[in-house]
Structure 1
Amino acid sequence: MASSVTELLSEIAELSEPLVELNRLKAAVNSVPLNTLRELATGLRFGVLFNLLESDDREQIDVCVAILERFLQSLEPICLVQNYKLELQKGLQHSDDRVKTLALTQIGRISECADAVVTVLGSPEFIKEMIHSIGSERISIANEAIKSLCRIAQNKTGLDALFTATMLENLKDVMGTSDVVRYRVYELVLEIANMSPVSLEYCVNGSFVTRLLSELSGDDVLIRATAIEMVTTLAQSQHGRQYLAQQGIIDRISNMIIGAKSDPFSSFYLPNLVKFFGNLAMVDSPQQICERYPVFVEKVFEMIEGQEPTMIGVGLDTIGILGSCIEGKQVLNKTGTAFQEVLRRLGSLSCNASTDMRLRCLDTIASLLSLQTDQQTEDILGMTESWFHALHSRPMETFRSMSSQPFPDIHIGALKVFTAIASQPWGQRLMIGTPGFVEYIVDRSTKADKNSKDAKFELVKALVNSKSIAEIFGNQHYLQLRAYLQEGPYFVKAVAVVAVEGGE
């Protein structure tokens, strides 16, 4: 088969209409193992295939791209850049998106190889074409270009090549294409800025970060919302957060939340302001962020208590994230009666809202109530127990009713809540004190879907793995649960069939 590949390549070079032979070559190439193809490809030149890309015949281009993908993928990056640098650079300028994607994919491989990428760094035209690919109408091409440029910027040599005066001008020219493309460039810049303090310094000196921050206070509320989202990306790194704090950006975003009360268009950007602080709290310290910026927590509670579905959803997700860690739980608990009101609102939403909102609410409740074994001090257990009882006047009966509903998503959401409290002694006491609850857990006769069976299995596992389960549930129930765990989530009890002599 390898010999036929060589023969077909030679034959194609002599043909003016090679489509039939190209398809034969494609089939031959796909049938050769990659290792064998690598040995073969190293000794071949594919100039004829690259030349055939210069055609108006879309089918011909498709087949050539498929063949080249297979051939080039088999080559080592250093071999690729040494032999096909000009062809790949030309591919970036091609009018057909499939050819551009082929070139960018291979450049991505080159960018990951320290020895191969040196050649790219020494070719300004190469980098220029990659920058201009960010402005492509096709998002997949832009994303490939961004990924490759990020790989190039992973060391100082790459940063120096990308942030020359000429390349900065090219980046700024591309930014002028449209609002969408401008934010693609911001995405590239922030990806690089988050890599290290040195990378951030390059991006700041290039004026990109300053320009993005200035858009936080722009007149266009949609641009403002997108800018806030992008700034949230920068806050993912410690040096990024330090920079934002030093520039007074965190304080400015806090003031934007305060100012949102008097802005009739705040609904466009307020969710992103809250998400910014939610992310900041989780990567930094929930206690420090919430205590320094109390308006953040106040706004989240206000959103949940309101009537706007989008705001309620963002508020639910935010306290779910905050309450997923022990420090966040303690911060929420310190708000006292304010959080008790929020819990009552969660209880109401879990029963009376739209299905989507009920599911988000149940996930939030499960996140708030979950505790690791090593977190279960007397005070913390008392706190989660009080939260559970604040949700409904009869929470066990309410969630038990949800877990029996025919709607799989709601059923699973309720099981997640039970799983959250299953390792906590007070939760186990409520379960054993609820008539028929244990029997419901171990009952496999209900025709549940796979996800429901998985959810119930997680509940059983949480119970069995608890140190207090045998004492609280008693030996008989404990053994039932352990047997269920050992049998797995999909166990089906065999039914004996007795044959009767003479029966039909």
Structure 2
Amino acid sequence: MAASIGDLLERISAVDDPTEELRCLKTALLSLPVSAVRDAASGQRLSAVFCLLAADKREQVQLCVDILERILMALSPECLLQDYRAELQAGLGHPNEDVKVLALTQIGRILGHPDAGANVLNNHALLRAVIHCIGEEKMGVAKEAIRSLSQLGGSKPGLDALFQSDLLGALKDVMTTSDVIRYRVYQLVVDVSSMSPVALGYCANSGLITQLLGELTGDDILVRATAVEMMTALAQEQHGRRYLAQQGVMDQISNMIRGAETDPFSSLYLPGLVKFFGNLAIMESPQQVCETYPAFQNKVFEMALDPDLAMTGVALDTLGLLGSTVEGKQVLQKTGARFTSVLVKMSQLSSSGATELRVRSLDAISQLLSLQPEEQTEDLLALTESWFHLLAPQPMEMMSSISSQPFPELHCGALRIFTAIAAQPWGQRLMVSTPSFMEFVLDRSTGRTKEAKDAKFDLVGALVGSPTAAHILGSQQYVRLKTYLREGRYHVSAVAAVGTEGAD
């Protein structure tokens, strides 16, 4: 096959219309594993294929892109740098989006390699061309440029090149193009800042992080909302959270939540503010965050109970996130009647309304009711059991009704709630005492989609994995559940076919 690859490469440059040869080459390459492509392409100059990118023929260009992508991905970053640096740099100026993405992807591989990347740090013409791609109209090109440049954040030489040279000026120049492009550069800065405290220091010293923080108080509501999203991404890392706290960002966002009550446009950015603190609570401490920033907790309850359902989804997601941890469960329980009202609202939303909101309600409930084996203390088991019974007078019947509806998302959402309580003794007692429920669990015909089969398998796994299940459910049911588990997720019982033709 290696010889045929070489032959096809030679024939491409020998014909006037190489379309058919390109198709054959693409087919041949796709039939080979990556290691064989590497062997077949080693020593082969791809200049003929690169030259064909200059043609004004869409199919030809796309075939060349597919071929080059297959071959170049099989080559090492050092080989790319040595043999194809000029071609890749030229690809950044190509009018075709796919060619630019191809070039950016391979340049990103070079920049991410310790040795190969170090050899291009002085090539500012190449790096400036990548920076200019952030300003491209096509988002696919811009995203790949951001991803490639973020590779520089992994080393001090890369950070020096990006933030302590004329490249910083190139970044700032690109930012002036538009609000959209400015935020693409912010995205790069946040991506790099998230990599390490050292990288964050470089970004802070460049002034770009300070400029981003200033966007939080801007007059443009949409710009403000996007800035909050950026802050949320930076807060994913501990050093990022520490920096934001030092800069007073948490207090600033808390004040924005308070001020939202008198802002007629707050619905545009309020979900982002709530998400920020929801993520912060999970990464730090739900109790600490809720006590330090009470405006956040108050706003979540207000949004969850608001008759206007526009904000409800974010509130549900946030409450589920908070309640997924033991500390979060305890914080919510301390609010007493307020949280009880929220649970009742979740139950109502799960049973009726728009499908998306019903699914988000079911997912939030499943997170609230979940307990890991090591978390199953007497108090916490009593807590989750009381919450389940607050959902409805007959919560098992209500969830069973939802699971039987002809909507896969709702069916799976209800199964996730059953899975949450299946690992807890009180949940198992409810299941075995509910008529026909165990038959429903063991019936593989209730849910035809892959997602439904996966959700049912997870439910059975939760039951079998519980140390109390065999005693509570009884040995016969437990053995049937273990058989279900052993047979696998997608087991289909064999049915003997009975023929009538020729049965004499």
Report the TM-score when normalising by structure 2.
Answer: 0.92
Match of 2:142 in 1: 142
Match of 1:350 in 2: 350
Match of 1:323 in 2: 323
The alpha carbon displacement at 1:86 in A equals 2.0
- Contact kept, 8 Å, 2:204 with 2:210, in 1: the verdict is yes
* Distance in 2 between residues matched to 1:231 and 1:439, nearest whole Å: 49
- Contact kept, 8 Å, 1:108 with 1:147, in 2: the verdict is yes
- Contact kept, 8 Å, 1:2 with 1:32, in 2: the verdict is no
Match of 2:93 in 1: 93
Q: What secondary structure, in the 3-state scheme, does the structure 2 residue paired with 1:460 have?
A: helix
Q: What secondary structure, in the 3-state scheme, does the structure 2 residue paired with 1:309 have?
A: coil
The alpha carbon displacement at 1:189 in A equals 0.4
Q: Deviations over 1:28-56 (max 9, x none)?
A: 66666654554554434333443443333
The alpha carbon displacement at 1:10 in A equals 5.2
Identity of aligned residues (%): 56
* Distance in 1 between residues matched to 2:462 and 2:10, nearest whole Å: 66
Distance 1:380 1:54, change over 3 A: same
The alpha carbon displacement at 1:448 in A equals 4.5
- Within a 5 Å distance, the mapping from 1:126-137 to structure 2 comes to 126-137=126-137
2:174 is equivalent to residue 156 of structure 1: no
Q: What secondary structure, in the 3-state scheme, does the structure 1 residue paired with 2:120 have?
A: helix
* Distance in 2 between residues matched to 1:221 and 1:367, nearest whole Å: 32
The alpha carbon displacement at 1:24 in A equals 5.6
* Distance in 1 between residues matched to 2:9 and 2:172, nearest whole Å: 43
* Distance in 2 between residues matched to 1:32 and 1:471, nearest whole Å: 55
* Distance in 1 between residues matched to 2:91 and 2:501, nearest whole Å: 79
2:289 is equivalent to residue 289 of structure 1: yes
RMSD: 2.7
The alpha carbon displacement at 1:125 in A equals 0.7
Distance 1:209 1:445, change over 3 A: closer
Q: Deviations over 1:414-468 (max 9, x none)?
A: 2221221112122222223323333333344657544334333322222222222
- Within a 5 Å distance, the mapping from 1:7-26 to structure 2 comes to 9=9, 13=13
* Distance in 2 between residues matched to 1:501 and 1:169, nearest whole Å: 83
2:293 is equivalent to residue 301 of structure 1: no
The alpha carbon displacement at 1:25 in A equals 5.3
- Contact kept, 8 Å, 2:440 with 2:446, in 1: the verdict is no
- Contact kept, 8 Å, 2:108 with 2:148, in 1: the verdict is yes
* Distance in 2 between residues matched to 1:498 and 1:90, nearest whole Å: 68
Moved more, 40-49 or 466-475: 40-49
Q: Which amino acid aligns with 1:302?
A: E
Q: What secondary structure, in the 3-state scheme, does the structure 1 residue paired with 2:177 have?
A: coil
Q: What secondary structure, in the 3-state scheme, does the structure 2 residue paired with 1:95 have?
A: coil
* Distance in 2 between residues matched to 1:312 and 1:238, nearest whole Å: 29
Q: Which amino acid aligns with 1:260?
A: A
* Distance in 2 between residues matched to 1:277 and 1:144, nearest whole Å: 30
Q: Deviations over 1:47-70 (max 9, x none)?
A: 344344333343443343344334
Moved more, 456-465 or 27-36: 27-36
Moved more, 405-414 or 310-319: 405-414
Match of 1:397 in 2: 397
Moved more, 209-218 or 396-405: 396-405
Q: Which amino acid aligns with 1:474?
A: G
Q: Which amino acid aligns with 2:440?
A: Y
* Distance in 1 between residues matched to 2:182 and 2:163, nearest whole Å: 17
The alpha carbon displacement at 1:310 in A equals 2.9
The alpha carbon displacement at 1:344 in A equals 1.3
Distance 1:431 1:2, change over 3 A: closer
* Distance in 2 between residues matched to 1:362 and 1:71, nearest whole Å: 47
* Distance in 2 between residues matched to 1:259 and 1:493, nearest whole Å: 61
Rg bigger for which structure? 1
Q: Which amino acid aligns with 1:459?
A: L
Match of 1:470 in 2: 470
Distance 1:502 1:28, change over 3 A: closer
Q: What secondary structure, in the 3-state scheme, does the structure 2 residue paired with 1:260 have?
A: helix
- Contact kept, 8 Å, 2:163 with 2:206, in 1: the verdict is yes
Q: Which amino acid aligns with 2:387?
A: W
Q: Deviations over 1:184-205 (max 9, x none)?
A: 1111000000111111111111
- Within a 5 Å distance, the mapping from 1:75-86 to structure 2 comes to 75-86=75-86
Q: Which amino acid aligns with 1:374?
A: E
Moved more, 431-440 or 191-200: 431-440
* Distance in 2 between residues matched to 1:398 and 1:166, nearest whole Å: 64
Consecutive unaligned residues in structure 2, runs of 5 or more: none
Distance 1:80 1:341, change over 3 A: same
* Distance in 1 between residues matched to 2:26 and 2:338, nearest whole Å: 67
Match of 1:427 in 2: 427
Moved more, 124-133 or 21-30: 21-30
Report the TM-score when normalising by structure 1.
Answer: 0.92
Distance 1:83 1:385, change over 3 A: same
Moved more, 33-42 or 281-290: 33-42
Q: What secondary structure, in the 3-state scheme, does the structure 2 residue paired with 1:153 have?
A: helix
Q: Deviations over 1:209-243 (max 9, x none)?
A: 11111111111111111111111111011111111
2:242 is equivalent to residue 250 of structure 1: no
Q: Which amino acid aligns with 2:461?
A: K
Match of 1:234 in 2: 234
* Distance in 2 between residues matched to 1:44 and 1:399, nearest whole Å: 63
- Contact kept, 8 Å, 2:6 with 2:41, in 1: the verdict is no
Distance 1:252 1:63, change over 3 A: same
* Distance in 1 between residues matched to 2:456 and 2:13, nearest whole Å: 64
Match of 1:166 in 2: 166
Moved more, 305-314 or 403-412: 403-412
Moved more, 420-429 or 360-369: 420-429
The alpha carbon displacement at 1:472 in A equals 2.3
The alpha carbon displacement at 1:393 in A equals 2.3
Distance 1:392 1:166, change over 3 A: same
Match of 1:385 in 2: 385
Match of 2:263 in 1: 263
Distance 1:424 1:48, change over 3 A: closer
- Contact kept, 8 Å, 2:3 with 2:40, in 1: the verdict is no
Match of 2:61 in 1: 61
Consecutive unaligned residues in structure 1, runs of 5 or more: none
Q: Which amino acid aligns with 2:478?
A: Y
Moved more, 196-205 or 452-461: 452-461
* Distance in 1 between residues matched to 2:426 and 2:67, nearest whole Å: 64
Distance 1:308 1:25, change over 3 A: same
